[in-house]
């Protein structure tokens, strides 16, 4: 049986097309493999713990809870889940002071996990009580900034505090509850005593 010449050319063309496509596919560089997802090890990505409504119902309540939860006798374990429940996700704890080596001022930005890890041994070994002795407050819409003057003792019965200073606390009210966004603090020093305007007042 004779095949039509045009049909033979068509078949030959189809074979060449698929042959060329196959060759191009073989020579095409293999796509880079998608890296497998890695576990999240960022300490700032802490879960938000459910708060006791009484701790977050007002500005006074959340500040009182903050001081209460870190205070306790030597040997007492702190309720760090309650501590976490006061804070907005990604919150930071920032102590400020002078570098003992350089003498320059600065700060150290801690996640909640880093603060807990660094503070627990000191608080539980020596005892630690911190209370608010004065406050100055500024509010605009849903945000509030509090200069909360504090004093720290190892025992409630101690006659004098071993430290005083100011907690600079940034708060958020989302319409349902209060949150702590950041706590930055600086202790009083001989060359930088607390100004009178930050003592003995609640404005």
pLDDT at 108: 87
DSSP helix/strand/coil, 109: coil
Q: Which of the four CATH numbers 3.40.50.2000, 3.90.930.60, 3.40.50.1980, 3.10.450.50 does domain 53-198 have?
A: 3.10.450.50
Least Cα distance to 116 among 188, 183, 162 occurs for: 183
- Distance of alpha carbon 76 from alpha carbon 155, whole angstroms: 12
Number of C-alpha atoms within 13 angstroms, CB side, residue 17? 6
What residue segments make up the domains of the chain, in order of their start?
A: 53-198
Per residue of the chain (203 residues), what is the pLDDT tens digit?
A: 444 444 434 333 433 333 433 344 444 444 444 444 343 344 444 456 899 999 999 999 999 999 999 999 999 999 999 999 999 999 999 998 766 667 677 788 999 999 999 999 999 999 999 999 999 999 999 999 999 999 999 999 999 999 999 999 999 999 999 999 999 999 999 999 999 999 977 76
This model's pTM is above 0.85: no
pLDDT at 175: 96
Contact 134, 117 (CB under 8 A): no
pLDDT at 99: 64
DSSP 37-89: PPP---TT-PPPPPPPHHHHSSHHHHHHHHHHHH-B-TTPPP-HHHHHHTEEE
pLDDT at 138: 97
pLDDT at 97: 72
Contact 169, 111 (CB under 8 A): no
pLDDT at 5: 44
**Could you tell me the two tokens for 148?**
């909360």
Adjacency order of strands within the sheet including 163-173: 105-107, 87-98, 178-187, 163-173, 143-153, 129-140
């Amino acid at each position: 049986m004779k095949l039509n010449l045009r049909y033979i050319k068509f078949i030959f063309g189809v074979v060449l097309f698929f042959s060329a496509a196959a060759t191009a596919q073989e020579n095409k560089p293999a796509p880079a493999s998608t890296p497998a997802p890695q576990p999240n090890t960022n300490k700032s990505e802490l879960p938000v713990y459910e708060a006791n409504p009484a701790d977050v119902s007002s500005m006074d309540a959340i500040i009182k809870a903050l001081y209460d939860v870190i205070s306790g006798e030597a040997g007492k374990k702190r309720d760090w889940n309650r501590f976490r429940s006061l804070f907005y996700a990604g919150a930071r704890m920032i102590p400020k002071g002078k570098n003992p080596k350089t003498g320059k001022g600065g700060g150290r930005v801690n996640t909640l996990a880093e603060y807990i890890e660094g503070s627990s041994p000191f608080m539980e070994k020596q005892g630690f009580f911190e209370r608010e002795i004065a406050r100055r407050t500024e509010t605009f819409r849903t945000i509030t900034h509090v200069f909360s003057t504090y004093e720290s003792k190892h025992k409630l019965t101690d006659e004098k505090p071993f430290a005083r200073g100011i907690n600079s606390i940034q708060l958020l009210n989302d319409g349902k509850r209060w949150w702590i966004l950041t706590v930055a603090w600086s202790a009083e020093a001989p060359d930088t005593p607390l100004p009178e305007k930050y003592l003995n007042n609640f404005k």
